[in-house]
A and B are shown apart, each in its own frame.
Chain A
Amino acid sequence: MPFVEECVISGCVLLGALFALIGSFGIVKLPDLMTRLHAPTKATTLGLGSLLLASLMYFYQLDGVFSINELLILLFLFLTAPISAHFIGKAHLHSQVDPEIELPPTGRPCGWSTYEQTSVGDDDGRPAGDRGGDYRGELG
């Protein structure tokens, strides 16, 4: 394997491992759950992205063929990491936080949707006008 490529791949591996380590260190170090939530959603995602990039380049060197599976994992992680963080934060709000004391006002006449069960946040709560135009031709 050429020297420059090996350097780049090794650098990506080290960088990815470093970010994964920092993300998990943040989980241990930071003081409460909401701050802890920042560490894995960001640092770990980038760490794994860097590792996957290294793997992509490595197998391209080895076989001469692009393997798309790595990109698939990367895409999946980037799509799902915000969703799981959002869910964990919401569940934390639901079980631990007092909305009157700790949360800022919404700036709207209603409260935050986690605490208001009769919200429009349910699946069929939207006004009917939003539903119109069921087929608008995604391809143009």
Chain B
Amino acid sequence: MKRKTQITSPAERGWLRQWIPHPMLTVMLFMLWLALINRPQPSSVIVGFLLSVSIPVITRRIWLNSPGLGRYGVIAWYVVMVLADVIMANIQVAWLIVCRPNRSLRSRWFTVPLDVTSDEAIAILAATITLTPGTVSCDLSADRRSMLVHGLDVRDEAALVALIKTRYESRLKAIFPC
């Protein structure tokens, strides 16, 4: 975080960008290293700094483009909402598994048309669908505009699709500008 405030002149920015191509990745690697150590000491801070600076430089060719993130408030709210939904969905699925006989489960495939187009948004939407309301995402259409989802107990397909679209996809569309 401190490094970012040091960016002042455009010339210096170019030099800094050479060595820290992805500031967010650097910060996250540093924090991940400290979390792995669990009891940070000065030496581990130094090693973590070296690693978090060198890894983005070495793997620069893998990171094609970084998604332009903004709106941290929306992201935080999305994470909290998904966590609450995960717990609810878990209880619901556990109830379905234990208390319902197999033949009364109406499990079926259905298609969710997608409005989001960026890769990151689609990936996060797929993960959210898998973790939350009794559904597992399995495939994308070849042009990436619709998603194949399997539901464990689907009563009203249109309502479920509408729920996914309004509750998750609209928020993801606000997070990732297309």
CB proximity of A137 to chain B, nearest CB, Å: 8
Give the CA-CA distance A132 to B164 in the complex, in Å: 29
Write out the residue numbers on chain A whose beta carbons fall within 8 Å of the beta carbon of B34. 68
Q: Interface 1/0s, chain A 110-123, versus B by CB < 8 A?
A: 11111010011100
Give the CA-CA distance A46 to B85 in the complex, in Å: 11
Q: Which of B107-163 contact A (CB under 8 A)?
A: 107, 109-111, 113, 118-119, 126-128, 130-131, 134, 136-146, 148, 150, 152
Residue B50, interface by CB 8 Å: no
Write out the residue numbers on chain B whose beta carbons fall within 8 Å of the beta carbon of A23. 94, 97
Residue A93, interface by CB 8 Å: yes
Write out the residue numbers on chain B whose beta carbons fall within 8 Å of the beta carbon of A109. 143
User: How many chain-B residues does the 8 Å CB contact rule pick out?
Assistant: 56
Q: Is the CB of A116 within 8 A of B38?
A: no
Residue B24, interface by CB 8 Å: yes
Instruction: Closest A residue to B148 by CB, please name it.
Output: A112
Give the CA-CA distance A79 to B143 in the complex, in Å: 25
Give the CA-CA distance A116 to B142 in the complex, in Å: 7
Q: Which of A1-45 contact B (CB under 8 A)?
A: 19, 22-23, 25-26, 29-31, 34-35, 37-39, 41-43, 45
CB proximity of A74 to chain B, nearest CB, Å: 11
Binding site for B on A (CB under 8 A): 19, 22-23, 25-26, 29-31, 34-35, 37-39, 41-43, 45-46, 65, 67-69, 71-72, 78-79, 81-83, 85-86, 89-90, 92-93, 102-114, 116, 119-121, 126, 130-140
